[in-house]
Structure 1
């Protein structure tokens, strides 16, 4: 899959991707609400026999306007691109969002990006999508622009879950902050997954019989500290069940740095330096400060048994979940992304 970054060179889009169906949005999380928009674009691409692209923006606009409080990204760019590839899109266009771009008028957005660069034949977006300086461009503006420039426009209504609640990225962030990874998965349509390099730790777990793969996540990640049943995918695509601790390790740590530590069941190889992913299946318990290492090890054994039981009965929530967190995934999330 190709990920295009619009830059100062303004290189033209390859002929094979020009004139396609364009799904527009931030799509952070690529959750079931987003998927209703994205699926509609894919359907139109088949009907019209056109390539289907996603136009998104990096970094997240809220991070540009509030740099001191960067947004908790559910799907950083590589993860988002991998999910969109799994859905069947031809390419992702990551347009740089900065304060200068925020001053563009809606007319400039349509003429420069949709027409001059993408040569859009059809645009699909959510019913509440706004663009341009002061959010001047809305559904009516986009429909009128389509009539003027000759591209079709499809607006998709808000998607509601089984309890008639609108699915949103902010709601999913809240659920993850509460440790509700099962409910978050129901909103996403797949298990929440993070990806990072495995780094060296203090190797205390190894001496206790529980060696862990350690990962630092971005500081803005608001996942609830605690113990989770997880699946761990290596860079070679192999999948392993495990139990993970995310947080500050109150019994043994003294540096106040949050860390994701995953103990892989029945595994002994070295993982240092690999880019791996961790999918969260269940929240088992919160962090506890134990009175010494012996009660800590006893609890770790109990956590392992509980995680094994949880993971023994899981099934895919859908195609994206199968791709990310099950054995029939074709490749690891860090592979297969070509940048242009």
Structure 2
């Protein structure tokens, strides 16, 4: 799969939308698109549409993370489209971009999509087929980005994983922190993520980190550090188990598996160390159970 800008193409099969969270419904849609494209020997294109002004509350999945999840499905091209920068409205987006520049001959969408009849009406004169799939369900409810976000804010990450078919991830670069974790014998990797990335509620989490092709269990603290410096700065700090390499500046993929506890203030570093050891036992037990 290649990421590209919008350019002239012909006879493509396309899916478009926000794909925030890249949940089971999105994955089913994209797999159906890939299957149809391979069957008919057509180029498949996924267009991720986003509005920067709607991102103040943060996104579940950045454009880089969407591409990460989509790249193994068999899609040929991935396009990130800033709808505000392009100055596009819905119908002009359909006619100028999807049906015009991309030359779509099939559009894959969900049968419960808002505006489905309008989409069919606009596509018909272009000889473009609109194909639909049934929605993905979780406990009898249609899986949507808003439902995933609700469970996310409730720290129900096991349910988030079930609805998405993958863990919640944060992709970023390891940046220099204040190295205060070393004072308690726990050097941590400080993850820098995009400004619009939605961070899990402040707390301690069981995580897995993928860096340089390897996977490591970890204990991640998200939020301020009231027992260390009490600065009003939210950080994402991970203590990687059985890891000692220098990875500053490297890319890391952090998988958030389980909420352990909220952020607490301790009287001294000895209490911090004691609690961390208890947290690590819970982290290891949980992550080992997944294996």
- The verdict on a shared fold, with TM-score over 0.5 as the criterion, is yes
**Compared with structure 1, are the counterparts of its residues 160 and 182 closer, same or farther at alpha carbon in structure 2 (3 Å cutoff)?**
same
TM-score, structure 2 as length reference: 0.93
Residue 226 of structure 1 pairs with residue 203 of structure 2: yes
1:280 to 251, 256, 259: 256
Residue 56 of structure 1 pairs with residue 52 of structure 2: no
Deviation at 1:251, TM superposition (A): 0.8
1:47 to 33, 39, 43: 39
Aligned residues: 290
Q: Contact (CA 8 Å) 1:70, 1:220: kept in 2 or not?
A: no
* 3-state SS of paired residue (1:27): coil
Residue 147 of structure 1 pairs with residue 124 of structure 2: yes
Deviation at 1:277, TM superposition (A): 1.2
* 3-state SS of paired residue (1:210): coil
Residues 262-285 of structure 1: CA distance to partner in whole angstroms, max 9, x if unpaired? 001111111111111110111111
1:167 to 128, 131, 143: 143
Deviation at 1:49, TM superposition (A): 1.9
Q: Contact (CA 8 Å) 1:5, 1:96: kept in 2 or not?
A: no
Deviation at 1:220, TM superposition (A): 5.6
Q: Contact (CA 8 Å) 1:216, 1:258: kept in 2 or not?
A: no
Partner residue, 1:254: 230
Structure with the largest fraction of strand: 2
Runs of 4+ aligned residues of structure 1 deviating over 4 Å after TM superposition are none
Return the alpha-carbon distance in structure 1 between the equivalents of residues 285 and 94 of structure 2.
Answer: 53
Partner residue, 1:90: 76
Residue 302 of structure 1 pairs with residue 278 of structure 2: yes
Deviation at 1:73, TM superposition (A): 1.1
Unaligned runs of 5+ in 1: 131-137, 316-340
Return the alpha-carbon distance in structure 1 between the equivalents of residues 108 and 246 of structure 2.
Answer: 45
Answer with 191-200 or 39-48: which moved more.
39-48
Deviation at 1:37, TM superposition (A): 1.7
Residues 226-276 of structure 1: CA distance to partner in whole angstroms, max 9, x if unpaired? 111111111x21111111111111111332111111001111111111111
Return the alpha-carbon distance in structure 1 between the equivalents of residues 277 and 122 of structure 2.
Answer: 62
Q: In the TM superposition, what are the counterparts of 1:1-340 in structure 2 within 5 Å?
A: 1-6=1-6, 11-13=7-9, 18-57=10-49, 60-61=50-51, 63-64=52-53, 66=54, 70-98=56-84, 101-102=87-88, 104=89, 106=91, 108-129=92-113, 138-161=115-138, 163-217=139-193, 218=195, 221-234=198-211, 236-315=212-291
TM-score, structure 1 as length reference: 0.80
**Compared with structure 1, are the counterparts of its residues 219 and 249 closer, same or farther at alpha carbon in structure 2 (3 Å cutoff)?**
farther
Task: Kindly report the root-mean-square deviation, in angstroms, between the aligned alpha carbons of the 2 structures.
Answer: 1.9
Return the alpha-carbon distance in structure 2 between the equivalents of residues 174 and 111 of structure 1.
Answer: 34
Return the alpha-carbon distance in structure 2 between the equivalents of residues 56 and 125 of structure 1.
Answer: 13
Return the alpha-carbon distance in structure 2 between the equivalents of residues 226 and 260 of structure 1.
Answer: 10
* 3-state SS of paired residue (2:117): helix
Residues 279-330 of structure 1: CA distance to partner in whole angstroms, max 9, x if unpaired? 0111111111001111100111111111111111214xxxxxxxxxxxxxxx
Return the alpha-carbon distance in structure 2 between the equivalents of residues 157 and 114 of structure 1.
Answer: 22
